[in-house]
Amino acid sequence: MRFHRLFFYTAAFMASCAFNGITLAEESPEVTTDAIDPVDSEKYEFQADVSRVLDIVVNSLYQNKDVFLRELISNASDALDKIRFLAIPKPEMLSDKQDLEIRISYDEEARTLTVSDTGIGMTKDDLVANLGTVARSGTTNFMDALQDGAADISQIGMFGVGFYSAYLVADKVTVASKHPNDPTQHIWTSNNGDNSFSIGEDSRGNSLGRGTEITLHLKEDAEEYADFGRLEKLVSHYSEFITHSIYLRKTEVMEVPDEDEEDEPSGEDDELDVSDEDEFDDDEEKPKNMKEVTTHTWEKANADAAIWNRPKEEISDDEYQEFWKLISKDGENATSWSHFDAEGNINFKSLVYIPTTVPFELRNGDFNNFKSAVKLYVRKVLISDEFELLPKYLSFVKGVIDSDDLPLNVNRETLQESKIISIIRKKVTRKVIDMIKKFADDSSNVDEAEVEIDEDGNIIELEDNDEASPKENEYLKWYENFSPSIKMGVMDDDANRNRLAKLLRVKTSKSDGEWKSLSDYVEGMKDYQKEIYFIAGSNSKEVENSPFMEKFNEKDLEVVYMVETADEYMIERLMEFDGKKFSSITKENIKFGDEDSDLQKRILAAYDDKFKKLTKFMNKFYGSAVMSTKISQRLGSSPAIASSSAYGHSANMERIMRAQVFAHGQDESQVRGFRTLEINPRHPFIEKILEQLPEEEDFDTKDLPQDFRDSLWSLLDTALLNGGFPLNDGKAFTNRMIRTLKSQLAVDSLDLLPEIEPKVEEDVPPEPELDGDGINLDDFVADDLEFEDI
C-alpha cells in the first residue's frame, strides 16, 4: 500500500514537471559546459595585434562591462536575420532547425556562460576571417553584398568588435558553429591576451544542427554573471525588444520522493511485530524519504514584440496600456500616449506616454537628479538610457525611441554627433507638447453635462427634479499634479514657451475656484483692458482679501491668482500671452485702461495739488523706509498701502527669497524691494494728518509731538501689512503699541507695581492619630487606663 502511494506521488511529480516544461537533470538534454577541444586543430596568428586591441576593448572602449551580453545577443540576432533572409528563396536552409531563437545558459560550478543561436552559423573560413581579424564585420560584408532594396532587413553590427566585448568578463572564449553549407561543425578557441587562436572540428559532431554557440569562461571577478537573476535583468534591460525569442535556462534544486527506497518487510519479525502504534490511520500519511534533484527550465526573457514597429491602426488601446505597464512597471494605466514616425534629417519611430501619477522624485521637487525615462534603441537594441532625449521638465514622460539609421560609435554607448540628439530631442519634445495639448482639448470638449439618448437617437428630457451630472475634466485632474513641470517648461524652454503657456490653467477672481485657461481669460477681458492682471500670494484667501483687489472688484476687472511658489518666476519669463502683457496689481503705476478721460486727469491733478505738501513731508519723515509717497487711485477703504516699484520685488517674491535658506551672500539690500507708499486722499486719517502738518518746511522729526510721530509710523506699518510686506522695525512697532495701550487704558505710569506679598499661613494642628477602630488615641491618658492580666 505504501509502495503504491510512493509510486503515485512520484508519477504525479514527473507529470507536473513535464506539463510545466521542467526537465529533470537525469533526463535533460546534455548541455556541456566543460572545455571543448577541437579535433586536429590548426593554429593561426591573429591579423592584428590582438593583445593591444583587446586591452583597448576591455579598458577603454566600453564603459560598462554589462554590455557584453547585449553585444553577443545583437550578433546572434543578426545571424538569425541572415538565415531568415536567405531562407526566403531557399527554404531548405531551415531544414536542420526550424526555430529561430537565442538561448542562454550558465554553470555556476564550472563558471561558464553560454549564448547560442540557430542563425546562419559560420564555416571554418568564416571563423578565420570574422573572428581572426579584429574589426572585421561579417554583418557589414553581408549588407554590402545585398542589392539596394533587395530586402527589408535591419542589422546592428557595423564595426566587428562586439564579439570581443566577451573578454570584458571572460579569460577564455570558445565558439562552436555550424553553417548549412558546411557538413562539419567547427570550434574556434582563444585565451585572452594570446596572439593566436585555434580552429578544428568539434569532437561532439553536429550537435548544433545550425547556428553558433559561444561559451565564456568567466573571470574570477565576473562570477556574478553565472546567475539567473543577473542575466534576466540584463536581457530585460538591453535586449527586451529583440525580434527573436530569447530563452534563459534556469537551474533549480528541488526535493522529490526517493523512489529507490521502498518500504518493504525485511524478515519474519517484521511480519509478526504488528501493533496499533505502527498502524497509520487512513487520513494520515507516513513521512516519505526525499532526495534533491536538479531541474532545468527554459524561460522566455524578452517581450513578444516591439509594439512601436507596428502600424498604429492595428494596435488597440489595451495593447498600448499593456506596453505602458511593461516599460513603466506601473500598475496604473497611462493618461495618454503618442505613437509617431519622424522623417527628415534623421528617421526614427517613437512611442511616448504621460503617466497618471507623479513619480516619487518629482513629488520631492528633485528635477535635477531625476533621469529621463525615454530610452534610445537602434533596431530594437537598447543603446543607452542616459541621453537627455527630453528636457528636464518633461522627465515624467516615459517611452522608447528607435532608429534604423543612427550613426553610432563602436561601443554604441554614445552617438558620434551630438547634433543628432538635438534633432531627436527637438522633435520628440514638440510631439509630447502636442500630445498634452490634444489631451487638454479633448477633455475640455467633454466637460459638459451628460445626456441620455433613446433608441431613435432623440435626447431624453430630464424631469424637473433630475439633473445631468457634468463629466469630470480629466486634464484638470492631471494638471493639478503636473503643473510644476509645465511651469518649469515655461521658464526654461524658450522655443516652446508660447505652446506651453496654452497648457497653463489658473484660478481668478471670477472663476469661483475653478480652473480656466489664459485664452479664456483673454476672451473675457474688458474692451478697454490692455493687460492681464494678476496678484501673487501664499494662498487664494489671502489674495482674495487683499486691499489691492478693492478697485478691481469695483471696476469688475478679472484678476489671476498666482499662489504657487513658481508662479512669479514663471511670469517673469513669460511676460505676455496672446499679445497681452502681464501686470501685477501690487506694483505702482498700475493702469486700469480708463485713466485717459479728461475727468480722471483733472481729479488726479486736484489731489496732487492738495496733498503736495503732505507727500513731500512724508518722503522726508520716512526717509529710506519708503522709496516715495504718492496719491493712490485704487484704494477704497484702506488709508494707505505699500506697493512695489515697477521693477522691484513684490512682497510675495521678497517672502520667497527670504525663505531660501541656502542662498549664499544674500543680504537685506538684495532681498528688500523698493516700496512706494500710496495714500488714500479720501480717507479721514489722511485728511487729519494733513491738518496737523508743521508750518515750517525745515522741521526736525524730534520736535514733532510723540502722538503725531506714532500716528505716522502706525500708518506706514498698516500700509506695509496691507501690501504683504513685513514690518520695518519690530521693536519700534512694539513700543508704539505700548504707548497706544497706555493712552487708551488711561494708565498714568508704566512703572511696575510692587511685588505681591505672599499670604502667611497660620499653624494648623496635626491630624489626630486613630487606632484601628477609628478612636482618637489622644483622648485617653495613660494613667486612666486599667490593664487586667490575662
Give the CATH number of the domain where residue 312 resides.
3.30.230.80
- Please check whether residues 223 and 341 belong to one and the same domain: no
* Residue 492 β-bridge partners: none
Lowest mean pLDDT of 134-143, 325-334, 432-441, 703-712, name the range: 134-143
**Cell digits of residue 180:** 548549412
Please give the residue range of the domain that contains residue 360: 307-445
- The three-class DSSP label of residue 651 is helix
- Please check whether residues 620 and 579 belong to one and the same domain: no
How confident is the model at residue 210, as a pLDDT? 92
Count CB neighbours of 413 within 10 A.
Answer: 16
How confident is the model at residue 774, as a pLDDT? 61
- Please check whether residues 112 and 203 belong to one and the same domain: yes
Mean pLDDT of 602-623: 91
Counting the structural domains of the chain, the total is 4
Q: In this structure, is residue 48 part of a structural domain?
A: yes
Q: In this structure, is residue 347 part of a structural domain?
A: yes
Share of the chain above pLDDT 90, in %: 33
Cα–Cα distance for residue pair 220/304, rounded to 1 Å: 35
Q: In this structure, is residue 467 part of a structural domain?
A: no
How confident is the model at residue 432, as a pLDDT? 95
Q: Convert 429-493 into a string of H (helix), E (strand) and C (coil).
A: HHHHHHHHHHHHHHHHHCCCECCCECCCCCECCCCCCCCCCECCCHHHHHHHHHHHHHHHHHHHC
- The three-class DSSP label of residue 419 is helix
Give the CATH number of the domain where residue 732 resides.
1.20.120.790
How confident is the model at residue 147, as a pLDDT? 46
Residues 730-772: pLDDT tens digits? 888 898 889 888 888 888 888 888 888 888 776 666 666 666 6
What residue type is assigned to position 145 of the chain?
Answer: A
* Residue 547 β-bridge partners: none
Helix (H) or strand (E) holding 570: helix 567-574
Mean pLDDT of 598-614: 88
> What are the distances in angstroms from CA 166 to CA 162, 175, 240, 246?
8, 11, 20, 18
User: pTM, whole model, 2 decimals?
Assistant: 0.71
How confident is the model at residue 444, as a pLDDT? 76
Give the CATH number of the domain where residue 550 resides.
3.40.50.11260
**Cell digits of residue 493:** 524652454
- Please check whether residues 229 and 373 belong to one and the same domain: no
- Please check whether residues 122 and 67 belong to one and the same domain: yes
Sheet of 245-257: strand order equals: 22-24, 290-300, 245-257, 101-107, 112-117, 211-218, 170-178, 186-191, 196-202, 38-45
Cα–Cα distance for residue pair 252/451, rounded to 1 Å: 60
Residues 537-581: pLDDT tens digits? 989 999 999 999 998 998 899 999 999 988 989 999 999 999 999
**Cell digits of residue 628:** 516715495
- Please check whether residues 718 and 671 belong to one and the same domain: yes
- Please check whether residues 104 and 168 belong to one and the same domain: yes
**Residue that the C-alpha cell 518487510 belongs to:** 265
- Please check whether residues 159 and 79 belong to one and the same domain: yes
Q: In this structure, is residue 135 part of a structural domain?
A: yes
Count CB neighbours of 708 within 10 A.
Answer: 15
Residues 474-507: pLDDT tens digits? 999 999 999 999 999 999 999 999 999 999 999 9
**Residue that the C-alpha cell 543561436 belongs to:** 117
Are 252 and 297 in contact by the 8 Å Cβ rule? The answer is yes
| Helices 567-574 and 651-658, axial angle in degrees (round to 10) | 120
Average pLDDT over all residues of the chain: 79
- 80 vs 27, higher pLDDT: 80
